[in-house]
Amino acid sequence: MTSGRATPGTTLDAGDALFTMQLIRYFDERVVELYNQKLVRGSAHPYIGMEAIATGIISALGDQDLITSTHRGHGHCLARGLDPSRMLAEVLGRKSGYCRGKGGSMHITAMEHGMLGADGIVGGSHAIAVGAAYASRLQGRDTVVACFFGDGAANEGSFHEACNLASVLDAPVVFVCENNGWALSTRASSTMRIDDISTRAAGYGFPGVTVDGNDVHAVRAAADEAVARARSGAGPTLIEAKTHRMSAHSAFATGETSTTEELAAWAERDPIEALVRRSISTGELTDEAVAETRVRARAAIEAATEHAVNDEQPDPETAFEDVYASSHWTKEMRLA
Ligand SMILES: Cc1ncc(C[n+]2csc(CCOP(=O)(O)OP(=O)(O)O)c2C)c(N)n1
Ligand SMILES: [Mg+2]
């Protein structure tokens, strides 16, 4: 019960889910602190408040499955089991990072974990997900691809093209729209005339469902159904998980966009506290187990920080390595 990865086909383990969600929360709180100490180049987008989505969806996936991510990708990576030390090293641009320090927060990629990449381009991963899913199917693999994106990305043309193509190909994709109500400083309600983004799936001929994105069990239940459908060959599903980011848009763009009332209402619905309340009331967790889980998650982030801040910078002479495709890259990093 340390990785936070649940076994597909089983019910969600409350302790595993809590560990993963708390790890994500502590990780991104630490990233903001390190950014403020000027140790992070560029920016970083905290997943704080959205932890239930990555945790619920990815716990329904198997090792053979793949994920694509966004600019707000740390939660997806941690839920997928990436090492927080190597992730933080990447965020700080250090040598032991997943991309040898050359990708940074928005480009963490770990093919060995089936993590096809975070993406600084809003809407950049829809087509990658459909392509990977269809390729896997052609290769006879039993692979499902979970494609994470925001409400803002649901207005990009690439989303609509990818949905249509996934539908006609019956590609095994689970589209996961993390609807946090905002695209940077633009309210979703001012960019679309629908209440539920999930209704867009009907236009492409596959199921769409809206769930409470702050309820990890609700997210997991929707994921179980969507993953089973994709794996059976029946094609894609769109899961819209409604949530809110409990942080500013990014470590750089810190201006508050929500009203004080909205912030207070969403704070009441903190996904981690909701899971703790539920798990204690059902008897799945005790107060002691919750405290122990938090200590473990905190210790992992302290160890990751210690590792990352002391790690070396990449050698300047390696600046052009891994930038252009080479036989080295394809041999070592392609999927097994
Ligand atoms: C194609 C493109 N347009 C604009 C941006 C600038 N930008 C970065 S994050 C962001 C908001 C994205 O909103 P959403 O998809 O809802 O994700 P969220 O940040 O809310 O998680 C924008 C506009 C970008 N990175 N890429
Ligand atoms: Mg958004």
**Per-residue pLDDT tens digits for 278-313:** 999 999 999 999 999 999 999 999 999 999 999 999
Comparing C-alpha atoms, which of 121, 28, 122 is closest to residue 76?
A: 28
Give the distance (Å) from ligand 1 centre to CA of residue 150. 8
CA distance 179 to 46: 15
Q: Report the relative pairing of strands 182-183 and 186-187 from DSSP bridges.
A: antiparallel
Q: What are the residue ranges spanned by the domains of the chain?
A: 18-309
Query: Residue 9: is its pLDDT beyond 50?
Result: yes
* pLDDT for res 331: 53
* 245: alpha, beta or left? (left if phi > 0; alpha if psi -120 to 50): beta
Best probe residue, ligand 1, of 48, 122, 250 (max atoms within 8 Å of C-beta): 122
Nearest CA to ligand 1 atom 20: 183
SS3 content of the chain, % helix, strand, coil (to 5): 50, 10, 40
pTM recorded for the entire structure: 0.95
Q: Which two tokens stand for residue 289?
A: 């187990």
Q: Beta strands 237-242 and 208-212: pairing type? A: parallel
Separation of CA 286 and ligand 1 centre (Å): 39
Confidence of residue 326 (pLDDT cuts 50, 70, 90): low
Contact by Cβ (8 Å): 174, 207: no
Evaluate whether the domain defined by 18-309 bears CATH number 3.40.47.10.
no
Least confident of 33-37, 114-118, 323-327: 323-327
State in Å: Cα 198 to ligand 2 middle: 14
Beta bridge partners of 148: 176
Ligand 1 closest atom vs CA 249: 19
What one-character DSSP code corresponds to residue 151? T
List, in sequence order, the alpha helices (H) in the chain. 14-36, 51-58, 74-79, 84-91, 126-138, 157-169, 216-231, 260-268, 271-282, 287-310, 327-333
Work out the percent of the chain whose per-residue pLDDT is above 70.
94
Closest atom of ligand 1 relative to the 72 alpha carbon = 21
Give me the pLDDT at residue 322, please.
80
User: Smallest Cα–Cα separation from 84: which of 41, 29, 122, 42?
Assistant: 29
Among positive and negative, which fits the CA dihedral 209, 215, 221, 225?
A: positive
CA distances from 173 to 37, 69, 134 (A): 39, 13, 9
